[in-house]
């Protein structure tokens, strides 16, 4: 395993996997170094690159795993319909509101030109005349600012937009609304940004890691991209691993890697593992069956879970009931307060889970929590409520013994004090 310390984030790759996004060099890669490695190569045939993206099967790394080629094609085609009134817009989403993830800020701080190059390629494919880099981390913003200053001539105007950090601020309609009206809160869909986004123009909002794969595809093509990963989850992905009483590490992993191999890299014995929090706070808990999984989208979907943004928190000594209660309390605090179902629903679920953690819940409270975890799914303008229902449902379905122990007031895991955190398994201290 290659291990590197860069700013405050330790990075690593498994043996036999050549990283495409992480680098062993310490510090920010400047323009000269990026160009020397083949960056900013001229793009003469955008449609040919779009075909490579399609053949590569690259899916978004921001959480939803949506095929990038479909988004690129849709924005390009929608843009052609309004060509007389203006072009399309592209947004590199590096907000990374997910507390258990550091991948985007690592890329922004250390490889800003890789992201700007990916943004340039995406902009050229969709015929954009405006581009934004959307971030909240001040160090990332500084790094991008320097990188933009290094570029002598830009084929497209790129604007850096810094927003107050927040869980919902990175949701794609929140990013668009921030650009349009200065408020980073989600809006109702439709329209989705690819239909009407920034200034009502077709807008591509892509995660910075997704865009960072485009220069590799331009240089090496789809077949090389598929040399790592599985047929349905091609390529490598960045995984922030927290929990298990160990310091967080950012890994670049081939999709399909057995979870137990990741544990071995991370120095955690499978015997210690009670479960994981998957996809950051989004996909909920997964019990010890995680030990039989491979880290790819198809396996995680089969398990009723998800890789999300690649953040995985390994639960060893902490009690899953207490972890779920902390995450639900986080959603209660961090939701955007716009949709009644969300602010009331997250508050009710957080209260029930908190009472369960504290040994103050009844069987009826638990039944109510179960009902909410079903009824509230799909409500609200964004998927925050889905994330909360995922946490509640997976706790109740997969950890019945821990739930029963808390109803009986005899949880060993919470003795002498239950796990509590404002931002459970935070990968880097909140600024």
Contacts to ligand FMN by CB under 6 A: 60-64, 66, 93, 95-98, 167-168, 170-172, 205-207, 210, 382-384
Nearer to ligand SF4, 68 or 383 (CB): 383
Contacts of 127 (CB under 8 A, 6+ apart): 76, 79, 80, 83, 87, 88
Among 4, 260, 338, 344, which residue interacts with ligand SF4 (rule: CB under 6 A)? 338
CB of 189 to ligand SF4, least distance (A): 10
**Beta bridge partners of residue 130, listed in sequence order:** 89, 157
* Inter-residue contact 310 to 237 (CB < 8 Å): yes
Return the H-helix or E-strand segment holding 324.
Answer: helix 320-334
Binding mask 186-225 for ligand SF4 (x = CB under 6 A): x---------------------------------------
**Terminal alpha carbon distance of the chain:** 30
Residue in the shown chain whose Cβ atom is closest to ligand SF4: 380
For residue 97, state whether it binds ligand SF4 (rule: CB under 6 A).
no
Partner whose footprint covers residue 335, from ligand FMN, ligand SF4, none (CB < 5 to 8 Å by kind):
ligand SF4
353-392: contacts with ligand SF4 (CB under 6 A): 380-382, 384-385
For residue 342, state whether it binds ligand SF4 (rule: CB under 6 A).
yes
For 168: left if phi > 0, alpha if psi spans -120 to 50, otherwise beta; the answer is alpha
**SS3 sequence, 252-300?**
EEECCEEHHHHHHHHCCCHHHCCEEEECCCCCCEECHHHHHCEECHHHH
CB of 282 to ligand SF4, least distance (A): 12
Nearer to ligand SF4, 142 or 192 (CB): 192
Relative to beta strand 9-13, strand 88-94 is unpaired
Tokens at 351, concatenated: 């209260």
Partner whose footprint covers residue 66, from ligand FMN, ligand SF4, none (CB < 5 to 8 Å by kind):
ligand FMN
Among 134, 225, 330, 343, which residue interacts with ligand SF4 (rule: CB under 6 A)? 343
Binding mask 139-168 for ligand SF4 (x = CB under 6 A): -----------------------------x
Partner whose footprint covers residue 237, from ligand FMN, ligand SF4, none (CB < 5 to 8 Å by kind):
none
Partner whose footprint covers residue 381, from ligand FMN, ligand SF4, none (CB < 5 to 8 Å by kind):
ligand SF4
Tokens at 265, concatenated: 């890299």
> Smallest Cα–Cα separation from 273: which of 309, 301, 246?
246
* Inter-residue contact 157 to 123 (CB < 8 Å): no
Nearer to ligand SF4, 176 or 342 (CB): 342
Nearer to ligand SF4, 67 or 166 (CB): 166
How far apart (Å, rounded) are the C-alpha atoms in residues 114 and 93? Answer: 14
Relative to beta strand 88-94, strand 128-135 is parallel
Among 147, 277, 303, 336, which residue interacts with ligand SF4 (rule: CB under 6 A)? 336
How far apart (Å, rounded) are the C-alpha atoms in residues 278 and 165? Answer: 21
CB of 337 to ligand SF4, least distance (A): 6
Binding site for ligand SF4 (CB under 6 A): 168, 186, 335-339, 342-343, 380-382, 384-385
């Amino acid at each position: 395993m290659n291990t590197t310390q860069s700013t405050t984030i330790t990075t690593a790759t498994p043996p036999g996997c050549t990283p495409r996004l992480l680098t062993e060099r310490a510090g920010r890669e400047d323009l000269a170094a990026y160009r020397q490695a083949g960056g900013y190569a001229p793009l003469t045939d955008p449609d040919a690159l779009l075909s490579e993206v399609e053949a590569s099967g690259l899916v978004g790394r921001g959480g939803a795993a949506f095929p990038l080629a479909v988004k690129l094609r849709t924005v390009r085609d929608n843009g052609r319909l309004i060509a007389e009134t203006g072009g399309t817009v592209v947004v590199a989403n590096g907000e990374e509101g997910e507390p258990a993830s550091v991948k985007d800020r690592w890329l922004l701080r250390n490889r800003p030109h890789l992201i700007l190059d990916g943004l340039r390629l995406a902009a050229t494919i969709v015929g954009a005349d405006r581009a934004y880099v959307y971030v909240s981390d001040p160090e990332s913003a500084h790094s991008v600012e320097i990188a933009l200053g290094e570029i002598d001539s830009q084929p497209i105007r790129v604007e850096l937009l810094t927003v107050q950090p927040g869980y919902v601020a990175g949701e794609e309609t929140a990013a668009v609304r921030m650009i349009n009206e200065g408020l980073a809160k989600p809006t109702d869909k439709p329209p989705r940004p690819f239909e009407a986004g920034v200034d009502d123009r077709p807008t591509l909002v892509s995660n910075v890691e997704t865009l960072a794969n485009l220069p590799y595809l331009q240089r090496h093509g789809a077949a090389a991209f598929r040399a790592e990963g599985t047929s349905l989850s091609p390529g490598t992905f960045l995984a922030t691993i927290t929990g298990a009483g160990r310091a967080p590490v950012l890994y670049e992993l081939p999709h399909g890697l057995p979870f137990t191999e990741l544990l071995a890299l991370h120095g955690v014995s499978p015997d210690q593992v009670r479960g994981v929090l998957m996809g950051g706070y989004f996909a909920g808990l997964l019990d010890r069956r995680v030990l039989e999984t491979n880290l790819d989208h198809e396996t995680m979907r089969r398990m009723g879970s998800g890789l999300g943004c690649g953040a995985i928190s390994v639960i060893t000594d902490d009690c899953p009931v207490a972890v779920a209660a902390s995450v639900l309390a986080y959603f209660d605090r961090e939701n955007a307060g716009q949709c009644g179902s969300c602010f009331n629903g997250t508050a009710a679920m957080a209260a029930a889970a908190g009472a369960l953690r504290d040994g103050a819940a009844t069987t009826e409270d638990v039944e109510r929590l179960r009902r909410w975890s079903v009824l509230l799914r799909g409500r609200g303008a964004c998927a925050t409520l889905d994330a909360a229902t995922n946490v509640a449902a997976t706790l109740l379905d997969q950890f019945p013994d821990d739930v029963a122990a808390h109803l009986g007031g005899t949880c060993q895991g919470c003795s002498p004090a239950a796990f509590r955190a404002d931002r459970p398994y935070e990968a880097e201290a909140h600024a």
